[in-house]
Amino acid sequence: MKVHNFNSGPSILPNEVLYKASKAVIDLEGCGMSILEISHRSDMFRKILEETRTSVRQLLQLDEDFEVLLLHGGASTQFMQVPYNLLDRHMPAAYADTGVWSSKAIREARLFGPVEVVCSSKDSHYTGIPKKFSIPAKSRYFHITTNNTIYGTQWHKFPETRVPVVADMSSDIFSRKLNFNYFSLIYAGAQKNLGPAGMTLVAVRKSILGKISRKLPSMMDYQVHIENGSLFNTPPVFAIYISMLTLRWLKQQGGIAAIEKINQKKSDLLYQEIDSNPLFRGTVAKEDRSRMNVCFVIRDPALENEFLEFCKGEDIAGIKGHRTTGGFRVSLYNAMPLDSVEFLVESMRFFASRKG
Q: Is 313 in the site for a second copy (CB under 8 A)?
A: no
Q: How far apart are the C-alpha atoms of 195 and 174, rounded to whole Å?
A: 12
Whether 249 sits among the annotated catalytic residues: the reply is no
Closest CB to a second copy among residues 199, 292: 199
2 binds a second copy (CB under 8 A): yes
| Cα-Cα end-to-end distance for the chain | 31
Binding residue (CB under 8 A) for a second copy from 54, 58, 181, 218: 218
The reply on whether position 46 binds a second copy by CB under 8 A is no
For position 305 contacting a second copy by CB under 8 A, the verdict is: no
Question: Could you say whether residue 234 binds a second copy (CB under 8 A)?
Answer: yes
Q: Shortest Cβ distance from residue 179 to a second copy (Å)?
A: 29
Alpha carbons 285 and 152: distance in angstroms, whole number: 10
Report which DSSP code applies to 161.
-
Among the listed ranges 32-40, 150-158, 265-273, 345-353, the one in contact with a second copy (CB under 8 A) is 32-40
Is 103 an interacting residue with respect to a second copy (CB under 8 A)?
A: no
189 SS3 class:
strand
Residue 104: CB minimum distance to a second copy, A: 8
Q: How far apart are CA 260 and CA 105, in angstroms?
A: 28
Residues 6 or more apart whose Cβ sits within 8 Å of residue 149: 8, 9, 101, 170, 171, 192, 292, 293, 322, 329, 331
> Which of helix, strand or coil describes residue 180?
helix
How far is residue 346's CA from residue 269's CA, in Å, rounded to a whole number? 11
Within 10 angstroms of residue 176's Cβ, the number of other Cβ atoms is 19
Does residue 94 sit in helix, strand or coil?
Answer: strand
Active site annotation includes 192: yes
Interaction of residue 72 with a second copy, rule CB under 8 A? yes
Which sign, positive or negative, has the C-alpha torsion 204, 209, 213, 215?
Answer: positive
Query: Counting contacts by CB under 8 A, is residue 111 touching a second copy?
Result: yes
Q: How far apart are CA 11 and CA 5, in angstroms?
A: 7
Task: State the minimum distance, in angstroms, from the CB of residue 116 to a second copy.
Answer: 20
Check the CA dihedral 293-248-23-44 and report its sign.
Answer: negative
101 is catalytic: yes
Pick the piece of the chain touching a second copy (CB under 8 A) from 2-10, 53-61, 92-100, 341-349: 2-10
22 binds a second copy (CB under 8 A): yes
Least distance between a second copy and beta carbon 256 (Å): 22
Q: Is 315 one of the binding residues for a second copy (CB under 8 A)?
A: yes
CB 202 within 8 A of CB 222: yes
Q: Which of 76, 67, 60, 127 is nearest to 98 (CA)?
A: 127
Nearer to a second copy, 232 or 343 (CB): 232
Amino acid at 249: W
Taking CB under 8 A as the rule, which mask of x and - marks residues 78-97 in contact with a second copy?
A: -xx---x-------------
Active site residues per annotation: 101, 168, 192
List of residues contacting a second copy (CB under 8 A): 1-3, 5, 7-13, 18-19, 21-23, 25-27, 31-34, 36-40, 72-77, 79-80, 84, 104, 107-108, 111, 189, 191, 195-199, 215, 217-220, 232-239, 242, 315, 317-318
